[in-house]
Amino acid sequence: MIKTFPKIHLIAVAGISLVVGSALVLSPSADVEAKRMTIDLDLHQESGKATDVPEQPVADANKAAPDAAPDSIPRENGEAPSSPDQATAAAPEQPAPPAEPALEWTEMDVESGDTLSTLFNEAGFNDGLMLSVIHGDGDAEKLQHLYVGETLAFGTSPDGELEKVRLERNRLESLVIERTDDGYAGEIVMREPEPRVAFASGEIEGSLYLAGKEAGLDDRITMELAGIYGWDIDFVYDVRKGDTFEVVYEELYLDDEKIDNGKIIAARFVNRGREVIALHYTDSNGESDYYTPDGDSMRKAFLRTPINARVSSPFNLQRRHPVLDVVRPHEGTDYAAPTGTPIKAAGDGRVSFAGWKGGYGRTVVLSHGDNITTLYAHMSKLGKGINSGTRVEQGQTIGYVGASGMVTGAHLHYEFRVNGVARNSRTIDLPEANPVPESEMARFKAATQQQIAQLNTLGEGFRQIAMAEEAVADEEQQ
């Protein structure tokens, strides 16, 4: 049986609201859900008080003081508000709905063939007024750029004066033009979606992709999950039936309606009995990444493969050379890919060679420190700005697949050398990317503490519900 659980929205759960604090807005429906979950989760809340996270919920806990006393948040804030009113009162950041009872609004969709002039005329205003609006201050001129699908609204005062023009580009961006004492003035208004915490969990039966779907995750979040763990787990070869995952992630809301998913905040993956927890952390330089609870990077210093392509010829020190037909070790791995496929730098480093290299054809060699070098051969062309001495970052495009040099067809030949000795890039133990530095460890611990608590609390609450539901189902069957 597939033990995947439905996704739930847990914004207002005790454990979560502790973390998120008073900036949360709870819709009445969320409140109802929240209460249901609160009962379950409060049982496990004794030590679940979160650290001081001022505004940004959960992950970007930049301001979390390392020594924040867990008790510094009054308990009242930590509980799911008992009524929607109370919730709204505790939510100063929610933009109030436009409170302009005095204005009468005419709203029209921008359709193919519309011009600003026709829309103004349709709303009962002439071109002269249109011109004074678009000649207004600030961003008012941007009204001239209309796109099909946008919404244009005119706000008129009781005496027929055009007081406001509002162009909604999309749900997050509008241009608002208001009448001033001497004309009009426009301003771009951006709305920030409100992140709410969601949780999903599943057990893998076939693939992570299917299990993610079953758990209610969208493809992007599943892909991100695979990306976070992809350094550690090969989702094609390593994943076994019975592996489980739990994900705490953001859902982005606007006006109490979900518009998108945000980032993964924390995750737990159990692969063949081995548990790996990944926590999102934004360091003091503003760089975000995923780390284990000990502060080790989830990344490796090297990509396992520098290209999205299949292996056409493996590393083999006894290989018979396809062109020369003699035993000639194959000191790298070949990846078959069409000419022009981008090739990525396997790790951060410096270009030590870029150009033609005999049978290798057009080639780039990178030096990475610790006497590790990587080599990329047979390129059709080099990446932009790739010259000897250039610094490159992991994942940067350094060239494109080709068939230059002594080859039978387009492919990438990739070598990984340690102290000059060729090693199998597909099996060698790759060094980890930089961990959280010692100097930042206290900050890291403080910032990620509540993510771990969340993962534990939500996971536990979830299992309880699942068990209860199973028990009910069993009873019903009997």
Binding site for Zn ion (CB under 5 A): 332, 334, 413
CB of 401: closest distance to Zn ion in angstroms?
12
Q: What are phi and psi of 246, to 5 degrees?
A: -135, 135
Write down how long the chain is. 478
What is the residue whose two structure tokens read 């206290």?
442
Cα distance between residue 374 and residue 463, in whole Å: 46
Comparing CB distances to Zn ion, the nearer of 34 and 407 is 407
In the complex, the smallest distance separating the C-beta of residue 405 from Zn ion, rounded to whole angstroms, is: 10
Q: Is the dihedral of CA 240, 242, 243, 245 positive or negative?
A: positive
Instruction: Name the residue whose CB lies closest to Zn ion.
Output: 413
Q: Please, what is the minimum distance in Å from the beta carbon of residue 313 to Zn ion?
A: 6
Nearer to Zn ion, 154 or 315 (CB): 315
Residue 170, SS3 per DSSP:
coil
* Least distance (Å) between residue 393 CB and Zn ion: 25
Query: What residues are paired with 343 via a beta bridge?
Result: 399
Closer Cβ to Zn ion, 12 or 346, answer by number: 346
Kindly tell me which of 164 and 413 has the beta carbon lying closer to Zn ion. 413
102 vs 323, which CB is nearer to Zn ion? 323
* Residue 377 · residue 360 · CB < 8 Å: yes
Q: What is the nearest approach in angstroms of Zn ion to the Cβ of residue 29?
A: 59
Nearest residue to 7 via CA among 275, 277, 265, 251: 251
> Which CB atom, from 74 or from 358, has the smaller least distance to Zn ion?
358
Question: Which sign, positive or negative, has the C-alpha torsion 276, 217, 227, 450?
Answer: negative
Minimum distance from residue 404 beta carbon to Zn ion (Å): 13
CB of residue 310 to Zn ion, shortest distance in Å: 14
Across 79-96, b (16+ Cβ under 10 Å) vs e yields bbbeebeebbebeeeeee
Identity of the residue, 317 or 468, whose beta carbon is nearer to Zn ion in the bound complex: 317
- Give yes or no for a contact between 31 and 79, defined as CB atoms under 8 angstroms apart: no
Q: Which of 176, 180, 178, 157 is nearest to 167 (CA)?
A: 176
User: Cβ closer to Zn ion: 280 or 413?
Assistant: 413
DSSP 360: G
162-164-165 Cα angle (round to 5): 105
Q: Which among 258, 260, 303, 276 is positioned nearest to 425, based on CA atoms?
A: 303
- Between 206 and 314, name the residue whose CB sits nearer to Zn ion: 314
Instruction: Give dist(CA 446, CA 52) in Å, integer.
Output: 9
* Residue 18 Cβ vs Zn ion, minimum distance, rounded to whole Å: 56
Question: In the bound complex, what is the minimum distance in angstroms from residue 383's beta carbon to Zn ion?
Answer: 20
